[in-house]
Amino acid sequence: MPLKYLFILPLLIVVFSSPVNASGTVNFTTKMPPEFEFCGKKVGRGTPEYDALFNWFNNNTTGWYESNLPYELGLTYMSQTFRVNLMDNKVIVSYASATSVGQLVRAAKTSGFSRLCNK
């Protein structure tokens, strides 16, 4: 079964509770899984692809808002419980855990990530 379908099941089972506070601030660096699938390969801590996302999240903790809208998939980092969808002008983070599920969005330029995919 493709990884994208394994991600949907926890989204349907778990009750929603957002990690974003009232000011739109969230620190995804503490919630990132140890490994993602990105551009057809596994990337983990210490790889340029993983570290670029970690650093981006570290520098972009504000401006997040909840959204229930469906988005087309752009360039994605995928795990069973965490998906980062990089669109041209926004980042969409979908997540699921034992206690929460949701989707947060932030306006952002993401062109630098496509260079990582072409390596």
Note every long-range contact of 49-53, with CB atoms under 8 Å and residues 24 or more positions apart, other chains counting.
49/77, 49/116, 49/117, 52/112, 52/113, 52/116, 53/77, 53/84, 53/113
Model confidence pLDDT, tens digit, residues 75-103? 999 999 999 999 999 999 999 878 888 89
Contact present, 37 and 77 (Cβ < 8 Å): yes
Number of H helices, E strands in the chain: 3, 7
Q: Tens digit of pLDDT for each residue in 2-50?
A: 555 444 444 433 333 455 665 689 999 999 999 999 999 999 999 999 9
Rounded to two decimals, what is the model's pTM?
A: 0.79
Question: So what's the pLDDT on residue 98?
Answer: 80
Instruction: State residue 16's pLDDT score.
Output: 38
